[in-house]
């Protein structure tokens, strides 16, 4: 225990030294995905967990540098109102600090804008009368413009919504305003993507997409095998592509077929057991096939995937992580990935560490470190 005590005492000093080694630059960064030969450190990313919860900053400088010590330089940060009705100066200042620390640690940040970024529930966002281009969509796009403009020098890639096909009510089709989860009607989601894109292009400070090289990612589709059903999320994606009138109008204005640059994807399959590689391959194939059939050349960004350790075990979690990365490396349609997530939550032990400390790491953390330092074989 004496050696561990010494290491524990020295660790904060190590983080401080690591922090001081990085300097803040005000120059505009490239998007994570501008370089077709993505690096191991930015290909293998982490979901950091809620940055702020009940007014308390959870994504502290200490946690950011703990994550950085693994070798990864890709982090997904969720912009949450945290109970506020609007983006107040006080809340924005808290995020300013978080983003500054992440930037100083040389992270390429993926910003997440989901239902937690704009007030109003499912009844509002799934309103289609008189139009699916509803008030919530307009409010969301304006909040997106506010946040993208504020962090345009530090965050170049933004994910729009989270799991648009995730519902908890089996009658979600007939009752979409009470579907549960984060389910959003495809016709509404199409307008949200278009209006967000236009709000960034027509910002009062200029064209944020062109001037600051902003990339938009469709909210990660929720693929799963709950109750032994194989849901690749391809049907929802096809229903999104079917919103041809909305997308054709966008194309006429901007001479580009779709208002996104990258397709976001989540998969939670073979939970509680060893991953079947062929199953995962079939899921990824289904999404890419659907995109190509709709003349969309967008590549995939895996913004969530992972396995818990309660059950099956730390060993299976580590093996599944490695097997998944091996599959990714064999493909040419994946830009990067974000393990879900960094630390265990109260109800789900999906983290690479326990008890909010890297000193309580799981076996998967060692595997994650190795992949962060190994060049992915795919070159696009």
Say what the pLDDT of residue 19 is. 41
Say what the pLDDT of residue 234 is. 98
Mean pLDDT of 320-336: 97
Question: Over the stretch 157-179, which tens digit does the pLDDT of each residue have?
Answer: 999 999 999 999 999 999 999 99
For residues 358-377, one letter each, b for 16 or more C-beta atoms within 10 angstroms of the residue's C-beta and e for the rest, the string is beebbbbbebbbebbeeebe
Say what the pLDDT of residue 151 is. 98
Question: Over the stretch 30-86, which tens digit does the pLDDT of each residue have?
Answer: 565 554 447 999 999 999 999 999 999 999 999 999 999 999 999 999 999 999 999
Structure tokens given for 43: 């290909």
Taking a C-beta distance cutoff of 8 angstroms, is the pair 136, 120 a contact? yes
Mean pLDDT of 192-207: 96
Is the per-residue pLDDT at 26 higher than 60?
Answer: no
Say what the pLDDT of residue 140 is. 98
Say what the pLDDT of residue 355 is. 86
Question: pTM higher than 0.85, yes or no?
Answer: yes
d(CA 304, CA 337): 7
Say what the pLDDT of residue 34 is. 58
Is the per-residue pLDDT at 222 higher than 90?
Answer: yes
> Which residues, in sequence order, are bridge partners of residue 206?
203
Question: Over the stretch 143-158, which tens digit does the pLDDT of each residue have?
Answer: 999 999 999 999 999 9
Domains and CATH numbers, the chain: 46-372 (3.20.20.80)
Question: Over the stretch 275-306, which tens digit does the pLDDT of each residue have?
Answer: 999 999 999 999 999 999 999 999 999 999 99
For residues 196-221, one letter each, b for 16 or more C-beta atoms within 10 angstroms of the residue's C-beta and e for the rest, the string is bbbbbbebeeeebbeebebbbbbbbb
Residue 179 CB partners (closer than 8 Å, separation 6+):
122, 126, 167, 168, 169, 172
Say what the pLDDT of residue 25 is. 38
């Amino acid at each position: 225990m004496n050696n561990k005590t010494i290491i524990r005492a020295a660790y904060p000093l190590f983080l401080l030294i690591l922090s001081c080694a990085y300097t803040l630059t005000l120059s505009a960064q490239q998007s994570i995905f501008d370089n077709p030969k993505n690096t191991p450190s930015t290909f293998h990313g982490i979901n950091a967990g809620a940055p702020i919860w009940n007014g308390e900053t959870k994504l502290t400088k200490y946690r950011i540098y703990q994550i950085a010590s693994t070798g990864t330089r890709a982090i997904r940060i969720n912009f949450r109102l945290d109970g506020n009705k609007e983006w107040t100066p006080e809340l924005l200042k808290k995020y300013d600090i978080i983003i500054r620390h992440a930037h100083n640690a040389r992270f390429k940040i993926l910003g997440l804008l989901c239902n937690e970024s704009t007030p109003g529930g499912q009844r509002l966002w799934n309103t289609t009368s008189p139009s699916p281009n509803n008030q919530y969509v307009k409010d969301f796009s304006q909040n997106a413009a506010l946040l993208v403009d504020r962090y345009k020098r530090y965050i170049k890639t933004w994910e729009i919504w989270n799991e648009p096909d995730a519902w908890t009510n089996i009658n979600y089709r007939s009752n979409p305003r009470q579907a549960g989860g984060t389910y959003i009607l495809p016709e509404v989601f199409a307008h949200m993507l278009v209006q967000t894109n236009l709000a960034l292009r027509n910002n009062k400070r200029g064209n944020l997409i062109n001037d600051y090289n902003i990339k938009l990612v469709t909210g990660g589709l929720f693929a799963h095998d709950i109750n032994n059903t194989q849901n690749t999320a391809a049907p929802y994606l096809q229903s999104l592509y079917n919103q041809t009138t909305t997308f054709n109008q966008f194309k006429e204005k901007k001479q580009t077929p779709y208002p996104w640059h990258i397709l976001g994807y989540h998969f939670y399959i073979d939970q509680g057991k060893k991953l079947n590689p062929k199953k995962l391959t079939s899921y990824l194939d289904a999404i890419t096939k659907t995109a190509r059939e709709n003349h969309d050349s967008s590549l995939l960004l895996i913004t969530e995937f992972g396995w818990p350790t309660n059950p099956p075990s730390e060993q299976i979690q580590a093996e599944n992580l490695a097997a998944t990365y091996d599959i990714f490396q064999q493909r040419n349609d994946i830009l990067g990935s974000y393990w879900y997530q960094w630390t265990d939550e109260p109800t789900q032990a999906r983290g690479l560490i326990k008890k909010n400390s890297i000193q309580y790491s799981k076996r998967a953390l060692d595997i994650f470190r190795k992949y962060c330092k190994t060049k992915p074989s795919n070159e696009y």
